[in-house]
A and B are shown apart, each in its own frame.
Chain A
Amino acid sequence: MMALNGTPAADTPLLEVRTLSVAYGRKAVALNAVNLTVPKAGVVALLGANGAGKTTLIRTVSGLIRLHNGAITGGEVLLEGKSIAGLSADRIVRLGMGQVPEGRLVFKNLTVEENLQVGGAILPRATLAERLDAVYDLFPRLAERKDQAAGLMSGGEQQMLALGRALAASPRVLLIDELSLGLAPLIVGAIYQQLKKIREHFGTALLIVEQNARLALGICDYAYVLERGEIVLAGPAELVAASERMHESYLGARAERQAAAG
Protein backbone atom coordinates (compact mmCIF):
# COMPACT_ATOMS: atom_id res chain seq x y z
CA MET A 1 0.00 0.00 0.00
CA MET A 2 1.19 3.49 -0.76
CA ALA A 3 0.42 5.68 2.27
CA LEU A 4 0.29 9.39 1.67
CA ASN A 5 1.02 11.79 4.52
CA GLY A 6 -1.41 12.15 7.40
CA THR A 7 -3.28 9.34 9.12
CA PRO A 8 -6.68 9.50 10.82
CA ALA A 9 -6.94 10.36 14.53
CA ALA A 10 -4.79 8.19 16.75
CA ASP A 11 -7.24 7.43 19.62
CA THR A 12 -9.56 4.39 19.36
CA PRO A 13 -11.17 4.76 15.95
CA LEU A 14 -14.90 4.24 15.52
CA LEU A 15 -14.46 1.54 12.92
CA GLU A 16 -11.27 -0.29 12.21
CA VAL A 17 -10.59 -2.99 9.65
CA ARG A 18 -7.29 -4.79 10.31
CA THR A 19 -5.48 -6.95 7.78
CA LEU A 20 -8.82 -8.34 6.66
CA SER A 21 -8.90 -11.15 4.12
CA VAL A 22 -12.08 -12.60 2.69
CA ALA A 23 -12.69 -15.43 0.26
CA TYR A 24 -15.73 -16.75 -1.55
CA GLY A 25 -15.89 -20.52 -1.73
CA ARG A 26 -12.56 -22.37 -1.52
CA LYS A 27 -10.21 -20.32 -3.58
CA ALA A 28 -11.49 -17.04 -4.95
CA VAL A 29 -9.77 -14.43 -2.77
CA ALA A 30 -11.88 -11.29 -2.72
CA LEU A 31 -9.97 -9.21 -0.18
CA ASN A 32 -6.32 -9.45 0.79
CA ALA A 33 -5.03 -7.95 4.07
CA VAL A 34 -7.10 -4.80 3.87
CA ASN A 35 -6.58 -2.03 6.46
CA LEU A 36 -9.09 0.76 6.81
CA THR A 37 -10.02 3.20 9.58
CA VAL A 38 -13.01 5.46 10.11
CA PRO A 39 -12.46 8.02 12.90
CA LYS A 40 -15.25 9.47 15.03
CA ALA A 41 -17.42 11.81 12.94
CA GLY A 42 -15.07 11.32 10.01
CA VAL A 43 -16.09 10.95 6.39
CA VAL A 44 -14.13 8.24 4.62
CA ALA A 45 -14.48 7.15 1.01
CA LEU A 46 -13.72 3.73 -0.35
CA LEU A 47 -13.06 4.00 -4.08
CA GLY A 48 -12.42 1.47 -6.77
CA ALA A 49 -13.66 0.13 -10.06
CA ASN A 50 -16.35 -2.49 -10.49
CA GLY A 51 -15.23 -5.81 -9.05
CA ALA A 52 -12.39 -4.33 -6.98
CA GLY A 53 -13.88 -5.77 -3.78
CA LYS A 54 -15.72 -2.73 -2.43
CA THR A 55 -19.00 -4.56 -1.95
CA THR A 56 -17.23 -7.53 -0.38
CA LEU A 57 -15.59 -5.22 2.14
CA ILE A 58 -18.85 -3.55 3.05
CA ARG A 59 -20.65 -6.89 3.34
CA THR A 60 -17.95 -8.19 5.66
CA VAL A 61 -18.10 -5.12 7.85
CA SER A 62 -21.89 -5.27 7.97
CA GLY A 63 -22.09 -9.01 8.70
CA LEU A 64 -23.83 -9.99 5.48
CA ILE A 65 -20.88 -11.85 3.99
CA ARG A 66 -22.05 -15.29 5.12
CA LEU A 67 -25.40 -14.80 3.42
CA HIS A 68 -23.39 -14.41 0.22
CA ASN A 69 -21.27 -17.52 0.88
CA GLY A 70 -18.10 -15.65 1.72
CA ALA A 71 -15.90 -16.18 4.76
CA ILE A 72 -13.33 -14.17 6.68
CA THR A 73 -9.97 -15.91 6.29
CA GLY A 74 -7.90 -13.48 8.30
CA GLY A 75 -7.82 -10.18 10.18
CA GLU A 76 -10.54 -8.47 12.16
CA VAL A 77 -13.23 -5.81 12.17
CA LEU A 78 -13.51 -3.60 15.26
CA LEU A 79 -16.35 -1.26 16.15
CA GLU A 80 -15.17 1.06 18.95
CA GLY A 81 -12.42 -1.41 19.74
CA LYS A 82 -14.72 -4.44 19.99
CA SER A 83 -14.59 -7.21 17.45
CA ILE A 84 -17.77 -7.52 15.40
CA ALA A 85 -16.54 -10.07 12.86
CA GLY A 86 -18.90 -13.04 12.81
CA LEU A 87 -21.80 -11.26 14.53
CA SER A 88 -25.14 -11.32 12.71
CA ALA A 89 -25.95 -8.29 10.59
CA ASP A 90 -28.95 -7.19 12.64
CA ARG A 91 -26.83 -7.32 15.80
CA ILE A 92 -24.16 -5.12 14.19
CA VAL A 93 -26.83 -2.58 13.26
CA ARG A 94 -28.04 -2.56 16.86
CA LEU A 95 -24.47 -1.90 18.00
CA GLY A 96 -24.51 1.40 16.12
CA MET A 97 -23.56 0.71 12.52
CA GLY A 98 -26.22 2.00 10.15
CA GLN A 99 -26.45 0.76 6.59
CA VAL A 100 -27.63 2.18 3.31
CA PRO A 101 -27.45 -0.80 0.98
CA GLU A 102 -26.85 -0.64 -2.73
CA GLY A 103 -29.99 -0.52 -4.81
CA ARG A 104 -32.09 1.57 -2.40
CA LEU A 105 -33.57 -1.34 -0.50
CA VAL A 106 -36.66 0.33 0.95
CA PHE A 107 -39.81 -1.41 2.21
CA LYS A 108 -41.89 -0.82 -0.91
CA ASN A 109 -45.30 -1.67 0.53
CA LEU A 110 -44.81 0.41 3.67
CA THR A 111 -45.35 4.15 3.86
CA VAL A 112 -42.46 6.57 4.24
CA GLU A 113 -43.33 7.07 7.90
CA GLU A 114 -43.47 3.31 8.50
CA ASN A 115 -40.11 2.83 6.79
CA LEU A 116 -38.58 5.34 9.18
CA GLN A 117 -40.30 3.72 12.17
CA VAL A 118 -38.81 0.35 11.26
CA GLY A 119 -35.43 2.06 10.90
CA GLY A 120 -35.76 3.53 14.37
CA ALA A 121 -37.36 0.47 15.95
CA ILE A 122 -34.22 -0.22 17.98
CA LEU A 123 -34.62 3.12 19.79
CA PRO A 124 -36.79 3.56 22.88
CA ARG A 125 -40.22 4.92 21.99
CA ALA A 126 -39.61 8.29 23.70
CA THR A 127 -36.53 9.18 21.65
CA LEU A 128 -37.89 7.79 18.38
CA ALA A 129 -40.36 10.62 17.70
CA GLU A 130 -37.66 13.22 18.31
CA ARG A 131 -35.25 11.39 16.05
CA LEU A 132 -37.81 11.11 13.24
CA ASP A 133 -38.44 14.84 13.47
CA ALA A 134 -34.72 15.43 13.02
CA VAL A 135 -34.68 13.14 9.99
CA TYR A 136 -37.67 14.97 8.50
CA ASP A 137 -35.84 18.27 9.11
CA LEU A 138 -32.93 16.98 7.11
CA PHE A 139 -35.13 15.61 4.32
CA PRO A 140 -38.21 17.85 4.08
CA ARG A 141 -39.19 15.92 0.97
CA LEU A 142 -39.79 12.82 3.11
CA ALA A 143 -42.04 14.83 5.41
CA GLU A 144 -44.14 15.87 2.41
CA ARG A 145 -44.49 12.22 1.38
CA LYS A 146 -45.03 10.76 4.87
CA ASP A 147 -48.07 8.68 3.99
CA GLN A 148 -47.04 7.55 0.53
CA ALA A 149 -46.05 3.96 -0.19
CA ALA A 150 -42.28 3.91 -0.61
CA GLY A 151 -42.47 1.81 -3.78
CA LEU A 152 -44.34 4.61 -5.57
CA MET A 153 -41.62 7.21 -5.05
CA SER A 154 -38.91 8.19 -7.52
CA GLY A 155 -35.45 6.63 -7.34
CA GLY A 156 -33.94 9.73 -5.75
CA GLU A 157 -36.67 9.90 -3.13
CA GLN A 158 -36.19 6.21 -2.34
CA GLN A 159 -32.48 6.82 -1.88
CA MET A 160 -33.27 9.66 0.54
CA LEU A 161 -35.63 7.34 2.37
CA ALA A 162 -32.97 4.62 2.61
CA LEU A 163 -30.64 7.23 4.12
CA GLY A 164 -33.33 8.53 6.44
CA ARG A 165 -34.24 5.02 7.56
CA ALA A 166 -30.64 4.24 8.48
CA LEU A 167 -30.29 7.58 10.28
CA ALA A 168 -33.48 6.96 12.25
CA ALA A 169 -31.59 4.41 14.36
CA SER A 170 -29.06 7.06 15.53
CA PRO A 171 -26.07 5.16 14.19
CA ARG A 172 -22.55 6.30 15.06
CA VAL A 173 -21.24 5.23 11.70
CA LEU A 174 -23.16 4.87 8.46
CA LEU A 175 -22.09 2.57 5.62
CA ILE A 176 -23.30 3.90 2.30
CA ASP A 177 -22.98 1.56 -0.65
CA GLU A 178 -22.96 2.95 -4.22
CA LEU A 179 -25.36 5.76 -3.60
CA SER A 180 -25.02 7.16 -7.12
CA LEU A 181 -25.85 3.92 -8.93
CA GLY A 182 -28.70 4.31 -11.39
CA LEU A 183 -29.61 7.86 -10.38
CA ALA A 184 -29.52 11.01 -12.52
CA PRO A 185 -26.40 13.16 -11.84
CA LEU A 186 -28.46 16.13 -10.68
CA ILE A 187 -30.22 14.02 -8.04
CA VAL A 188 -26.96 12.40 -6.95
CA GLY A 189 -25.48 15.87 -6.48
CA ALA A 190 -28.41 16.90 -4.29
CA ILE A 191 -28.13 13.77 -2.15
CA TYR A 192 -24.38 14.30 -1.70
CA GLN A 193 -25.17 17.78 -0.37
CA GLN A 194 -27.41 16.06 2.20
CA LEU A 195 -24.55 13.75 3.21
CA LYS A 196 -22.52 16.80 4.22
CA LYS A 197 -25.39 17.89 6.39
CA ILE A 198 -25.63 14.49 8.04
CA ARG A 199 -22.24 14.98 9.63
CA GLU A 200 -23.07 18.56 10.63
CA HIS A 201 -26.48 17.69 12.11
CA PHE A 202 -25.85 14.35 13.73
CA GLY A 203 -22.07 13.96 13.97
CA THR A 204 -22.42 10.59 12.27
CA ALA A 205 -19.27 9.14 10.74
CA LEU A 206 -19.67 8.03 7.12
CA LEU A 207 -18.01 5.29 5.15
CA ILE A 208 -18.94 5.98 1.55
CA VAL A 209 -18.36 3.27 -1.02
CA GLU A 210 -18.42 4.84 -4.43
CA GLN A 211 -17.46 4.11 -7.99
CA ASN A 212 -17.69 7.76 -8.91
CA ALA A 213 -14.40 8.94 -7.38
CA ARG A 214 -14.88 12.61 -8.16
CA LEU A 215 -18.15 12.74 -6.23
CA ALA A 216 -16.85 10.99 -3.15
CA LEU A 217 -13.55 12.93 -3.05
CA GLY A 218 -15.62 16.11 -3.01
CA ILE A 219 -16.97 15.45 0.46
CA CYS A 220 -14.65 13.00 2.26
CA ASP A 221 -11.71 13.75 4.56
CA TYR A 222 -9.86 10.58 3.79
CA ALA A 223 -9.99 8.08 0.96
CA TYR A 224 -8.91 4.53 0.24
CA VAL A 225 -8.57 3.05 -3.22
CA LEU A 226 -9.21 -0.64 -3.67
CA GLU A 227 -7.90 -2.62 -6.65
CA ARG A 228 -8.24 -6.38 -7.05
CA GLY A 229 -8.92 -6.87 -3.36
CA GLU A 230 -6.05 -4.75 -2.07
CA ILE A 231 -5.76 -1.17 -0.88
CA VAL A 232 -3.40 0.45 -3.35
CA LEU A 233 -3.69 4.03 -2.22
CA ALA A 234 -4.80 5.78 0.97
CA GLY A 235 -4.62 9.33 2.25
CA PRO A 236 -6.40 12.63 2.85
CA ALA A 237 -8.87 13.45 0.13
CA GLU A 238 -6.88 16.33 -1.44
CA LEU A 239 -3.75 14.24 -1.68
CA VAL A 240 -5.55 11.25 -3.13
CA ALA A 241 -7.33 13.50 -5.62
CA ALA A 242 -4.01 15.03 -6.62
CA SER A 243 -2.10 11.77 -6.83
CA GLU A 244 -0.83 10.60 -10.16
CA ARG A 245 -2.34 7.15 -9.85
CA MET A 246 -5.80 8.55 -9.11
CA HIS A 247 -5.53 10.97 -11.96
CA GLU A 248 -4.38 8.31 -14.33
CA SER A 249 -7.02 5.67 -13.53
CA TYR A 250 -10.07 7.33 -12.04
CA LEU A 251 -10.22 11.06 -12.58
CA GLY A 252 -8.09 11.90 -15.54
CA ALA A 253 -8.10 11.73 -19.27
CA ARG A 254 -8.22 7.96 -19.53
CA ALA A 255 -11.30 7.69 -17.31
CA GLU A 256 -13.03 10.36 -19.33
CA ARG A 257 -12.18 8.59 -22.56
CA GLN A 258 -13.61 5.41 -21.09
CA ALA A 259 -16.74 7.18 -19.95
CA ALA A 260 -17.21 8.68 -23.40
CA ALA A 261 -16.69 5.31 -25.05
CA GLY A 262 -19.03 3.56 -22.62
Chain B
Amino acid sequence: MLVQFLLTGLALGSIYGLVALGFAVIYKAERVFNFAQGILMVCGAYLAYTATTQLGLPFPVAVIVIIAAAALLGIVIQFLFIRPLSGQPLLPVIMITIALSIILKALIEILYGVQPKPLATSLPTGVLILGDVRLSQLNLTAAVVSWVCMGVFFAFFRFTKAGLLMRATADSHEAAILSGVNVNRINAGAWAIGTILAVIGGVFLGQIQLASTELEHIGLLALPAVVIGGLQSIPGAIVGGILVGVIEQLASGYISPKARDVFIYIPLLIMLLVRPWGLFGNRELGRV
Protein backbone atom coordinates (compact mmCIF):
# COMPACT_ATOMS: atom_id res chain seq x y z
CA MET B 1 0.00 0.00 0.00
CA LEU B 2 2.74 2.46 0.97
CA VAL B 3 4.49 2.08 -2.38
CA GLN B 4 1.16 2.55 -4.14
CA PHE B 5 0.46 5.78 -2.23
CA LEU B 6 3.96 7.09 -2.78
CA LEU B 7 3.88 6.46 -6.52
CA THR B 8 0.43 7.96 -7.00
CA GLY B 9 1.48 10.89 -4.80
CA LEU B 10 4.60 11.37 -6.87
CA ALA B 11 2.60 11.40 -10.10
CA LEU B 12 -0.07 13.81 -8.87
CA GLY B 13 2.58 15.83 -7.08
CA SER B 14 4.41 16.28 -10.37
CA ILE B 15 1.30 17.97 -11.78
CA TYR B 16 1.06 20.19 -8.70
CA GLY B 17 4.75 20.95 -9.08
CA LEU B 18 4.12 22.03 -12.67
CA VAL B 19 1.29 24.37 -11.67
CA ALA B 20 3.36 25.67 -8.74
CA LEU B 21 6.27 26.26 -11.09
CA GLY B 22 4.00 28.46 -13.19
CA PHE B 23 3.02 30.32 -10.06
CA ALA B 24 6.67 30.81 -9.06
CA VAL B 25 7.64 32.12 -12.51
CA ILE B 26 4.97 34.82 -12.30
CA TYR B 27 5.89 35.62 -8.71
CA LYS B 28 9.57 35.90 -9.45
CA ALA B 29 9.04 38.10 -12.49
CA GLU B 30 6.62 40.62 -11.04
CA ARG B 31 6.24 39.87 -7.33
CA VAL B 32 2.60 39.13 -8.08
CA PHE B 33 1.02 36.60 -5.75
CA ASN B 34 -1.32 35.05 -8.29
CA PHE B 35 -4.46 33.69 -6.68
CA ALA B 36 -5.85 33.06 -10.16
CA GLN B 37 -3.35 30.23 -10.74
CA GLY B 38 -5.97 27.65 -9.67
CA ILE B 39 -8.60 28.88 -12.10
CA LEU B 40 -6.02 29.19 -14.89
CA MET B 41 -5.45 25.49 -14.37
CA VAL B 42 -9.19 24.90 -14.66
CA CYS B 43 -9.13 26.87 -17.92
CA GLY B 44 -6.75 24.17 -19.19
CA ALA B 45 -9.31 21.43 -18.61
CA TYR B 46 -12.01 23.40 -20.44
CA LEU B 47 -9.67 24.38 -23.26
CA ALA B 48 -9.04 20.67 -23.72
CA TYR B 49 -12.79 20.02 -23.74
CA THR B 50 -13.34 22.68 -26.40
CA ALA B 51 -10.41 21.62 -28.55
CA THR B 52 -11.12 17.88 -28.53
CA THR B 53 -14.84 17.38 -27.91
CA GLN B 54 -16.39 20.59 -29.26
CA LEU B 55 -14.02 21.31 -32.16
CA GLY B 56 -13.06 17.66 -32.72
CA LEU B 57 -9.43 18.54 -33.43
CA PRO B 58 -6.90 15.71 -33.71
CA PHE B 59 -5.04 15.46 -30.41
CA PRO B 60 -1.64 16.83 -31.54
CA VAL B 61 -3.34 19.86 -33.12
CA ALA B 62 -5.47 20.27 -29.99
CA VAL B 63 -2.31 20.38 -27.85
CA ILE B 64 -0.87 23.19 -29.96
CA VAL B 65 -4.16 25.12 -29.87
CA ILE B 66 -4.41 24.69 -26.08
CA ILE B 67 -0.86 25.92 -25.50
CA ALA B 68 -1.28 28.88 -27.86
CA ALA B 69 -4.57 29.83 -26.19
CA ALA B 70 -2.93 29.59 -22.76
CA ALA B 71 -0.05 31.85 -23.79
CA LEU B 72 -2.52 34.38 -25.20
CA LEU B 73 -4.63 34.26 -22.04
CA GLY B 74 -1.59 34.94 -19.86
CA ILE B 75 -0.42 37.82 -22.05
CA VAL B 76 -3.89 39.41 -22.15
CA ILE B 77 -4.27 39.18 -18.34
CA GLN B 78 -0.86 40.76 -17.83
CA PHE B 79 -1.58 43.53 -20.32
CA LEU B 80 -5.07 44.42 -19.11
CA PHE B 81 -4.84 43.97 -15.35
CA ILE B 82 -1.30 43.62 -14.09
CA ARG B 83 0.71 46.10 -16.16
CA PRO B 84 -1.41 49.13 -15.19
CA LEU B 85 -0.82 48.25 -11.53
CA SER B 86 2.93 47.89 -11.88
CA GLY B 87 4.69 49.60 -9.00
CA GLN B 88 1.59 49.39 -6.77
CA PRO B 89 1.78 47.75 -3.35
CA LEU B 90 1.20 44.02 -3.07
CA LEU B 91 -2.38 44.24 -1.77
CA PRO B 92 -4.19 45.84 -4.77
CA VAL B 93 -2.45 43.41 -7.08
CA ILE B 94 -3.50 40.44 -4.94
CA MET B 95 -7.08 41.73 -4.92
CA ILE B 96 -6.95 41.93 -8.72
CA THR B 97 -5.90 38.30 -9.01
CA ILE B 98 -8.66 37.22 -6.61
CA ALA B 99 -11.25 39.20 -8.60
CA LEU B 100 -9.86 37.70 -11.78
CA SER B 101 -10.24 34.16 -10.47
CA ILE B 102 -13.88 34.80 -9.50
CA ILE B 103 -14.66 36.35 -12.90
CA LEU B 104 -12.98 33.54 -14.82
CA LYS B 105 -14.85 30.94 -12.78
CA ALA B 106 -18.19 32.63 -13.46
CA LEU B 107 -17.37 32.95 -17.17
CA ILE B 108 -16.56 29.26 -17.38
CA GLU B 109 -19.85 28.33 -15.70
CA ILE B 110 -21.78 30.63 -18.04
CA LEU B 111 -20.06 29.27 -21.14
CA TYR B 112 -20.00 25.57 -20.25
CA GLY B 113 -22.68 25.18 -17.58
CA VAL B 114 -22.07 23.98 -14.05
CA GLN B 115 -22.22 20.29 -14.96
CA PRO B 116 -18.72 18.71 -15.03
CA LYS B 117 -17.55 17.64 -18.47
CA PRO B 118 -15.67 14.43 -19.21
CA LEU B 119 -12.58 14.90 -21.38
CA ALA B 120 -12.02 12.74 -24.44
CA THR B 121 -8.33 13.36 -25.11
CA SER B 122 -6.10 10.65 -26.55
CA LEU B 123 -4.11 10.37 -23.35
CA PRO B 124 -3.58 6.72 -22.36
CA THR B 125 -6.00 5.50 -19.70
CA GLY B 126 -4.93 1.90 -19.05
CA VAL B 127 -3.46 0.50 -15.87
CA LEU B 128 0.02 -0.91 -15.43
CA ILE B 129 0.25 -3.70 -12.88
CA LEU B 130 3.68 -4.21 -11.30
CA GLY B 131 3.39 -6.86 -8.56
CA ASP B 132 1.02 -5.41 -5.98
CA VAL B 133 1.23 -1.92 -7.37
CA ARG B 134 -1.36 -0.63 -9.81
CA LEU B 135 -0.19 2.41 -11.71
CA SER B 136 -2.51 4.33 -13.96
CA GLN B 137 -0.94 5.07 -17.32
CA LEU B 138 -2.55 8.49 -17.20
CA ASN B 139 -0.80 9.34 -13.94
CA LEU B 140 2.45 8.04 -15.35
CA THR B 141 2.05 10.14 -18.51
CA ALA B 142 1.21 13.17 -16.39
CA ALA B 143 4.37 12.69 -14.37
CA VAL B 144 6.56 12.17 -17.44
CA VAL B 145 5.10 15.18 -19.27
CA SER B 146 5.52 17.30 -16.14
CA TRP B 147 9.16 16.34 -15.85
CA VAL B 148 9.77 17.01 -19.53
CA CYS B 149 8.13 20.44 -19.19
CA MET B 150 10.31 21.24 -16.19
CA GLY B 151 13.39 20.14 -18.14
CA VAL B 152 12.46 22.29 -21.12
CA PHE B 153 11.81 25.14 -18.77
CA PHE B 154 15.21 24.85 -17.09
CA ALA B 155 16.94 24.67 -20.45
CA PHE B 156 15.06 27.78 -21.54
CA PHE B 157 16.19 29.71 -18.48
CA ARG B 158 19.75 28.44 -18.58
CA PHE B 159 20.56 28.56 -22.29
CA THR B 160 18.42 31.10 -24.12
CA LYS B 161 18.73 34.86 -24.31
CA ALA B 162 15.06 35.36 -23.42
CA GLY B 163 15.58 33.14 -20.37
CA LEU B 164 18.62 35.16 -19.32
CA LEU B 165 16.70 38.43 -19.65
CA MET B 166 13.88 36.95 -17.57
CA ARG B 167 16.27 35.95 -14.81
CA ALA B 168 17.85 39.41 -14.94
CA THR B 169 14.46 41.14 -14.72
CA ALA B 170 13.46 38.95 -11.78
CA ASP B 171 16.73 39.92 -10.09
CA SER B 172 16.32 43.69 -10.47
CA HIS B 173 13.66 45.51 -12.45
CA GLU B 174 15.48 48.81 -12.45
CA ALA B 175 18.81 47.34 -13.49
CA ALA B 176 17.04 45.49 -16.32
CA ILE B 177 15.42 48.69 -17.57
CA LEU B 178 18.78 50.46 -17.38
CA SER B 179 20.27 47.66 -19.49
CA GLY B 180 17.75 48.40 -22.24
CA VAL B 181 15.48 45.43 -21.46
CA ASN B 182 11.82 45.94 -22.34
CA VAL B 183 10.54 44.80 -18.96
CA ASN B 184 6.89 44.82 -20.01
CA ARG B 185 7.56 42.30 -22.73
CA ILE B 186 9.54 40.12 -20.33
CA ASN B 187 6.72 40.19 -17.77
CA ALA B 188 4.16 39.29 -20.43
CA GLY B 189 6.41 36.35 -21.31
CA ALA B 190 6.46 35.25 -17.67
CA TRP B 191 2.65 35.31 -17.58
CA ALA B 192 2.52 33.31 -20.79
CA ILE B 193 4.83 30.65 -19.34
CA GLY B 194 3.04 30.61 -15.98
CA THR B 195 -0.32 30.16 -17.67
CA ILE B 196 0.91 27.47 -20.06
CA LEU B 197 2.27 25.44 -17.13
CA ALA B 198 -1.03 25.79 -15.23
CA VAL B 199 -3.02 24.82 -18.30
CA ILE B 200 -0.96 21.69 -18.98
CA GLY B 201 -1.60 20.64 -15.38
CA GLY B 202 -5.30 21.34 -15.94
CA VAL B 203 -5.52 19.11 -19.01
CA PHE B 204 -4.18 16.18 -16.98
CA LEU B 205 -6.32 16.82 -13.92
CA GLY B 206 -9.40 17.25 -16.15
CA GLN B 207 -8.67 13.91 -17.74
CA ILE B 208 -7.94 12.18 -14.42
CA GLN B 209 -11.13 13.59 -12.90
CA LEU B 210 -13.61 15.72 -14.87
CA ALA B 211 -13.40 19.24 -16.25
CA SER B 212 -15.09 21.26 -13.52
CA THR B 213 -14.56 24.53 -11.69
CA GLU B 214 -14.27 22.35 -8.57
CA LEU B 215 -10.75 21.59 -9.76
CA GLU B 216 -9.76 25.10 -8.72
CA HIS B 217 -9.03 24.09 -5.15
CA ILE B 218 -6.63 21.46 -6.45
CA GLY B 219 -4.93 24.13 -8.53
CA LEU B 220 -4.62 26.27 -5.45
CA LEU B 221 -2.51 23.52 -3.87
CA ALA B 222 0.18 25.38 -5.77
CA LEU B 223 0.12 27.88 -2.91
CA PRO B 224 1.16 25.52 -0.10
CA ALA B 225 3.56 23.94 -2.58
CA VAL B 226 5.42 27.20 -3.24
CA VAL B 227 5.31 28.36 0.37
CA ILE B 228 6.77 25.05 1.55
CA GLY B 229 9.34 25.01 -1.24
CA GLY B 230 10.22 28.69 -0.99
CA LEU B 231 8.50 31.47 -2.90
CA GLN B 232 11.62 32.62 -4.68
CA SER B 233 12.81 29.18 -5.63
CA ILE B 234 12.10 27.32 -8.85
CA PRO B 235 13.34 23.91 -7.57
CA GLY B 236 11.42 24.69 -4.38
CA ALA B 237 8.14 24.93 -6.29
CA ILE B 238 8.69 21.53 -7.86
CA VAL B 239 9.77 19.79 -4.65
CA GLY B 240 6.94 21.51 -2.78
CA GLY B 241 4.44 20.26 -5.38
CA ILE B 242 5.66 16.69 -5.11
CA LEU B 243 5.61 16.85 -1.30
CA VAL B 244 2.02 18.10 -1.38
CA GLY B 245 1.04 15.25 -3.73
CA VAL B 246 2.65 12.60 -1.55
CA ILE B 247 1.20 14.03 1.69
CA GLU B 248 -2.23 14.15 0.04
CA GLN B 249 -2.09 10.47 -0.97
CA LEU B 250 -0.77 9.28 2.38
CA ALA B 251 -3.30 11.31 4.38
CA SER B 252 -6.31 10.32 2.31
CA GLY B 253 -5.12 6.72 2.00
CA TYR B 254 -4.33 6.04 5.65
CA ILE B 255 -6.76 8.38 7.39
CA SER B 256 -9.52 9.83 5.24
CA PRO B 257 -9.83 12.05 2.15
CA LYS B 258 -10.98 14.79 4.51
CA ALA B 259 -7.67 14.63 6.36
CA ARG B 260 -5.85 15.73 3.24
CA ASP B 261 -6.15 19.47 3.68
CA VAL B 262 -5.19 19.32 7.35
CA PHE B 263 -1.96 17.52 6.57
CA ILE B 264 -1.12 19.81 3.69
CA TYR B 265 -1.82 23.10 5.41
CA ILE B 266 -0.23 22.21 8.77
CA PRO B 267 3.24 21.96 7.17
CA LEU B 268 2.45 25.31 5.53
CA LEU B 269 1.77 26.89 8.92
CA ILE B 270 4.86 25.32 10.47
CA MET B 271 6.98 26.47 7.56
CA LEU B 272 5.74 30.05 7.86
CA LEU B 273 6.44 30.06 11.60
CA VAL B 274 9.82 28.37 11.55
CA ARG B 275 11.34 28.99 8.16
CA PRO B 276 9.27 31.59 6.28
CA TRP B 277 11.62 31.55 3.30
CA GLY B 278 10.78 27.89 2.64
CA LEU B 279 12.90 24.80 2.10
CA PHE B 280 14.87 26.21 -0.82
CA GLY B 281 14.24 29.94 -0.51
CA ASN B 282 16.77 32.57 0.24
CA ARG B 283 16.60 33.75 3.84
CA GLU B 284 17.09 37.42 3.06
CA LEU B 285 14.75 37.51 0.05
CA GLY B 286 12.16 34.94 0.94
CA ARG B 287 10.20 36.56 3.76
CA VAL B 288 6.53 36.45 2.88
| Chain A positions near chain B (C-beta within 8 angstroms) | 62, 64, 67, 88-90, 93-94, 99, 101, 105-110, 114-115, 117-119, 121-122, 165-166, 169
Q: How far is the CB of B283 from chain A (nearest CB, A)?
A: 13
Q: A90-B183, A107-B172 are known contacts. Are A101 and B178 too (CB-CB below 8 A)?
A: yes
Known contacts A109-B171, A118-B168, A121-B181; 12 further A-B pairs (Cβ under 8 A): A62-B178, A88-B177, A90-B179, A93-B180, A101-B174, A101-B175, A107-B168, A108-B172, A121-B161, A121-B165, A165-B179, A169-B179
Q: How far is the CB of A245 from chain B (nearest CB, A)?
A: 33
Which residues of the partner chain A approach B177 to less than 8 Å between Cβ atoms?
A: 64, 88-90, 93
Q: A118-B164, A121-B165 are known contacts. Are A107 and B171 too (CB-CB below 8 A)?
A: yes
Which residues of the partner chain A approach B174 to less than 8 Å between Cβ atoms?
A: 64, 67, 101, 105
Q: How far is the CB of B270 from chain A (nearest CB, A)?
A: 27
For residue B126, CB closer than 8 A to chain A, the reply is no
Total number of residue pairs linking A and B with CB closer than 8 Å: 71
Inter-chain contact B171/A108, CB cutoff 8 Å: yes
Give B77-103 as 1s and 0s: 1 = Cβ < 8 Å from A's Cβ atoms: 000000000010000000000000000
> How far is it, in angstroms, between the C-alpha of A93 and the C-alpha of B175 when the chains are bound?
11
> How far is it, in angstroms, between the C-alpha of A102 and the C-alpha of B271 when the chains are bound?
37
Contact of B168 among A67, A93, A110, A166 (CB under 8 A): A110
Q: A67-B87, A105-B172 are known contacts. Are A90 and B167 too (CB-CB below 8 A)?
A: no
> How far is it, in angstroms, between the C-alpha of A105 and the C-alpha of B183 when the chains are bound?
16
**B186: nearest chain-A partner, CB-CB:** A90
For residue B182, CB closer than 8 A to chain A, the reply is yes
Which residues of the partner chain A approach B168 to less than 8 Å between Cβ atoms?
A: 107, 110, 114-115, 118
Q: How far is the CB of A127 from chain B (nearest CB, A)?
A: 14
**B180: nearest chain-A partner, CB-CB:** A93
24 contacts between A and B (CB under 8 A): A67-B174, A89-B178, A93-B178, A101-B175, A105-B172, A105-B178, A107-B167, A107-B171, A107-B172, A109-B167, A109-B171, A110-B167, A110-B168, A110-B171, A118-B164, A121-B161, A121-B164, A121-B180, A121-B181, A122-B180, A165-B179, A166-B178, A166-B179, A169-B179
